[in-house]
Structure 1
Amino acid sequence: MKLPFDFLDNMKNILNDDYESFINTYNEERAYGIRVNTLKISVEEFLKISPFNLIKIPWTRDGFYYEENIRPAKIPFYNAGLYYIQEPSAMAPVEFLDVKRGHKVLDLCAAPGGKSIQIASKLQGEGILVTNDINSNRVKALVKNIEMYGVKNALVTNDSPERLLRNFEGYFDRILVDAPCSGEGMFRKDESLIKSWEKDDISIYPDMQKNILDNAAKMLKVGGKLVYSTCTFNMNENEKIIEEFLGENSNFRLLNIDKVHGITQGLGIKEVARLWPHKLKGEGHFVALLEKVDGDSIDYSLEKINKKPEIFREFEEENLKINLEGNFVIINDSLYLAPKQLVKIKNLKVVRTGLLLGKIKKKRFTPSQALAMALKVEDFKRVINLSYDSTEVIKYLKGETIFIDGQKGLNLVSVENYPLGFGKLNNNTLKNGYEKSWRWV
Structure 2
Amino acid sequence: MDSDRSLVLPQAFLDRMKDMLQDDYDAFLQAYDQPRTYGLRVNTAKISCEEFEKIVPFEVKKIPWISNGYFYREDVRPSRCPLYQAGLYYLQEPSAMTPASRIPVEPGEYVLDMCAAPGGKATAVGSALKGAGLLVANDISTTRARALLRNLELFGIPNLFVANEKPEKMVKNFPEFFHKIILDAPCSGEGMFRKEEALARDWTPEKSQELSQIQKQLCLNAADMLQPGGQMLYSTCTFAPAEDEEVISWLLEQRPDLSLISMENYEGFSSGNPAWGNGSPELKKCVRIFPHKMAGEGHFLALLKKEGQSGPTANISKGTKLPADVKKYLEAFFSEIGLNSLGGQPFDWNRVEVRADKVYYLPPVSCSLRGLTFLRNGLYLGDLKKNRFEPSQPLALAFRKDEAEAIISLPVDDPRLERYLKGETLTILPEETVHTKGWHLLCVEGYPLGFGKLVNGTLKNKYPAGWRA
How far residue 258 of structure 1 moved from its aligned partner, in angstroms, is 4.4
Q: Which amino acid aligns with 1:376?
A: R
Q: Which moved more, 1:109-118 or 1:258-267?
A: 258-267
Give 3-state SS (helix, strand or coil) of 1:270's partner. Answer: helix
How far residue 436 of structure 1 moved from its aligned partner, in angstroms, is 1.5
Partners of 1:181 and 1:218 in 2: CA distance: 21
1:52 aligns with 2:49: no
1:152 is matched with which residue: 153, 158, 162?
158
| 1:209–1:241 Cα contact (<8 Å) kept | yes
RMSD between aligned alpha carbons? 2.0
Count of residues in Structure 1 that have an aligned counterpart in Structure 2: 440
| 1:128–1:342 Cα contact (<8 Å) kept | no
Q: Cα deviations across residues 166-220 of structure 1 (Å, max 9, x unaligned)?
A: 1111111000000111111011112222233259944321111111111011000
Give 3-state SS (helix, strand or coil) of 1:394's partner. Answer: helix
Q: Cα deviations across residues 336-381 of structure 1 (Å, max 9, x unaligned)?
A: 1111113132111121111111122444321100000011353334
Report the CA distance shift for 1:200/1:266 in structure 2 as closer, same or farther (over 3 A). closer
1:366 is matched with which residue: 380, 390, 407?
390
So what's the TM-score if we normalise by structure 1?
0.95
* Structure 2: runs of 5 or more not aligned: 275-282, 342-346, 431-435
Report the CA distance shift for 1:365/1:25 in structure 2 as closer, same or farther (over 3 A). same
Report the CA distance shift for 1:111/1:339 in structure 2 as closer, same or farther (over 3 A). same
Give 3-state SS (helix, strand or coil) of 1:84's partner. Answer: strand
1:313 is matched with which residue: 324, 331, 334?
331
| 1:170–1:298 Cα contact (<8 Å) kept | no
Q: Which amino acid aligns with 1:152?
A: P
Q: Cα deviations across residues 53-95 of structure 1 (Å, max 9, x unaligned)?
A: 2222122110111122211111111111111111111111112
Q: Which moved more, 1:294-303 or 1:51-60?
A: 294-303
Partners of 1:176 and 1:15 in 2: CA distance: 28
Superposed counterparts of 1:33-432, under 5 Å: 33-198=39-204, 201-268=207-274, 269-294=283-308, 300-307=314-321, 309-310=326-327, 311-322=329-340, 324-325=347-348, 326-405=350-429, 407-432=436-461
Give 3-state SS (helix, strand or coil) of 1:373's partner. Answer: helix
* Structure 1: runs of 5 or more not aligned: none
Report the CA distance shift for 1:139/1:15 in structure 2 as closer, same or farther (over 3 A). same
Q: Which amino acid aligns with 1:436?
A: A
Partners of 1:357 and 1:303 in 2: CA distance: 17
Report the CA distance shift for 1:42/1:295 in structure 2 as closer, same or farther (over 3 A). closer
Give 3-state SS (helix, strand or coil) of 2:230's partner. Answer: strand
Partners of 2:407 and 2:107 in 1: CA distance: 31
How far residue 261 of structure 1 moved from its aligned partner, in angstroms, is 2.5
Partners of 1:419 and 1:168 in 2: CA distance: 35
How far residue 255 of structure 1 moved from its aligned partner, in angstroms, is 1.0
Report the CA distance shift for 1:122/1:295 in structure 2 as closer, same or farther (over 3 A). closer
| 1:373–1:421 Cα contact (<8 Å) kept | yes
Give 3-state SS (helix, strand or coil) of 2:32's partner. Answer: helix
What is the match of residue 278 of structure 2? none
Q: Cα deviations across residues 276-320 of structure 1 (Å, max 9, x unaligned)?
A: 101111110000011111599688555445455413223222333
| 2:314–2:365 Cα contact (<8 Å) kept | no
Q: Which amino acid aligns with 1:375?
A: F
What is the match of residue 37 of structure 2? 31
Q: Percent identity?
A: 44
| 2:379–2:395 Cα contact (<8 Å) kept | yes
Report the CA distance shift for 1:337/1:200 in structure 2 as closer, same or farther (over 3 A). farther
Report the CA distance shift for 1:222/1:402 in structure 2 as closer, same or farther (over 3 A). same
Q: Which amino acid aligns with 1:125?
A: G
Give 3-state SS (helix, strand or coil) of 2:268's partner. Answer: coil
Partners of 2:184 and 2:166 in 1: CA distance: 14
| 2:113–2:122 Cα contact (<8 Å) kept | yes
How far residue 50 of structure 1 moved from its aligned partner, in angstroms, is 1.8
Report the CA distance shift for 1:163/1:295 in structure 2 as closer, same or farther (over 3 A). farther
| 1:170–1:296 Cα contact (<8 Å) kept | no
Partners of 2:212 and 2:333 in 1: CA distance: 51
So what's the TM-score if we normalise by structure 2?
0.89
